Structure 1
Amino acid sequence: MAVRAIVPANLLHWLFSVSAGIIMCRAVFGFTSAFSSSFFKGYPKLSPQEKLEWNNRGCSTFHAIVVAASSLYLLVFSDLFVDTETEMMINRTSTLSDTVLGVSIGYFLADLAQLVYHYPALGGMEYFIHHGLSVFSIVLSLLTGQAQAYTLMILLTEITTPFVNLRWYLHVAGLNNSKIYILNGVALFIGWLVARILLFVYFSFHMFVHFDQVKAVFWLCFYTLITVPLSLAVMNLVWFWKIAKGMTKTLRKARHCG
């Protein structure tokens, strides 16, 4: 069957998780604004567009920490996705994994709404592509109950988001020449290399080893597993090239000033 058996309890849980993700996004947006107004002297001086992006990045940072930590636990520290005699890894799910996927769907939907409403202030077409592919893949994995391990691997790459956002915060605050800006740039380069380049290599290797299971999933899941990660990998490589160039430029400038 394309969609696993849906009972009212499951449907209610999914709707609650997605709603929680949307509410979380809006709540963190408001909290970021209130907190920044009270504790960052430069925040009131920002333009309305900068304040909008400042608060929005607070949402993405919080979401990234929550889903990356949850994905790491489910993939590494739990035995959820260990093959058993009765059930293959590709079909394993749990209440927690469903919750993580639902919350992430809620966040991406809320952020997509922000992107559309404020376009192009919060990002260009690449963000629409990234969010659209993410929502499609996560919804498919949640409804079918298949390939959740691979979906969580993709969500684990969100761990780089706090470094990206901190780089932007420091830039807006005028701290481009500070030591923390340089250290964050190096951390971003290393984190991106590990989480968005090497992890995708492992992702591909894992799929190759478990291809007997991968090819047994619903056909739309199968082609999504083949095409969406590849598309994201290409985008990650492009961004990695930009990150590497930016870090090199910053390090050269710091060495020259030193």
Structure 2
Amino acid sequence: MDGNFGPAERILWPASVLAGVVMCGAIYEITRKISSRCFRGYHKLSHMQKVEWNNRGLSTFHALVGAAVSFYLVVISDLFNEDVHNGIIIDRKSWLSDAMFGVSIGYFLTDLVMILWYFPSLGGKEYLFHHGLSMYAIGLALLSGKAHMYILMVLFTEATTPFVNLRWYLDVAGQKTCNLYVYNGLALFVGWLVARIILFVYLFTHMYFHFDQAKSIFTLGFYSLLIVPSAVAVLNVFWFWKIFKGMVKTLSKRRKHSENGKTD
């Protein structure tokens, strides 16, 4: 792992982590100011609701940036294209993946501090586990320069976060009966199915067909590559079941309301 810590990394890594922390502070304040001016109900929220409202603003921003960078590196660029490069995929990385990992560590670190400070108002033990596991996996990939493709795939799953946050915003704003709440719930279900279930099936399948490369990683990295995505996958299935039940419950209520309206 020492060979990956060159002069460029000595500047890029700490700078990107710091950028992630600064980004969180900036987006938190921007969310607070925009919400206080553009959303009338913001001032009626409790202190804790305002904190969570602003916190979800920064998590949405990180999710969009992380998903966009991950999609670009894995799908659009030829960084992990086996037809273009001869080197093994498990060793491929770029300055952009390094920078994104650093920013993500800064975000997860900041968010973890907030969760602990207001615990359990911003999230329970599962969020502590998720953030801790995320920082461990991203940090290990950053320091070793290994398995960037797989970590980027996992990072792409943050693409579902904006739908989760919009659902919470609409709930707090008293808009659970509006069509947008239903459409967002359906989008969340489909997005979660694609980004957190099907994508993980592809990840494990890709890893299976490149298992010889995975075994070439140092021992801690190899077992982490097996355990961390598996643990995240279990969390994803658990949350997917809760999303599915919530969607069914919401659609059932709307169907009953519609039937009652027709009867009246």
Query: 1:54-69 maps to which residues of 2 (within 5 A)?
Result: 54-69=53-68
Where does the alignment leave 5 or more consecutive residues of structure 2 unmatched?
259-264
SS for the counterpart of 2:79 is coil
Name 1:247's counterpart in structure 2.
Answer: 247
Name 1:131's counterpart in structure 2.
Answer: 131
Q: Equivalents in 2 of 1:72, 1:85: separation in Å? A: 19
Name 1:72's counterpart in structure 2.
Answer: 71
Following TM superposition, the consecutive aligned residue runs of length 4 or more in structure 1 with deviations greater than 6 angstroms are none
Name 1:194's counterpart in structure 2.
Answer: 194
Name 1:100's counterpart in structure 2.
Answer: 100
Letter of the structure 1 residue corresponding to residue 201 of structure 2: V
Encode CA deviations 1:4-32: one digit per residue, 9 max, x unaligned.
Answer: 33223211111110110110011100100
SS for the counterpart of 1:176 is coil
Name 1:33's counterpart in structure 2.
Answer: 32
Percent identity between the aligned chains?
55
Q: Equivalents in 2 of 1:182, 1:158: separation in Å? A: 21
Q: Are the equivalent residues in 1 in contact too, given 2:74–2:152 (CA < 8 A)?
A: yes
Q: Are the equivalent residues in 2 in contact too, given 1:63–1:107 (CA < 8 A)?
A: yes
Query: 1:1-258 maps to which residues of 2 (within 5 A)?
Result: 2-83=1-82, 86-258=86-258
Where does the alignment leave 5 or more consecutive residues of structure 1 unmatched?
none
Q: Are the equivalent residues in 2 in contact too, given 1:4–1:145 (CA < 8 A)?
A: no
Deviation at 1:50, TM superposition (A): 0.3
SS for the counterpart of 2:256 is helix
Kindly tell me the number of residue pairs found equivalent between the two proteins.
257
Deviation at 1:53, TM superposition (A): 0.3
Encode CA deviations 1:87-125: one digit per residue, 9 max, x unaligned.
Answer: 211101111111111111110011011111111111110
Q: Equivalents in 2 of 1:3, 1:116: separation in Å? A: 32
Letter of the structure 2 residue corresponding to residue 68 of structure 1: A
Deviation at 1:85, TM superposition (A): 6.3
Letter of the structure 1 residue corresponding to residue 53 of structure 2: W
Deviation at 1:218, TM superposition (A): 1.3
TM-score after normalising by structure 2: 0.95
Aligned Cα RMSD in Å? 1.0
TM-score after normalising by structure 1: 0.98
Name 2:261's counterpart in structure 1.
Answer: none
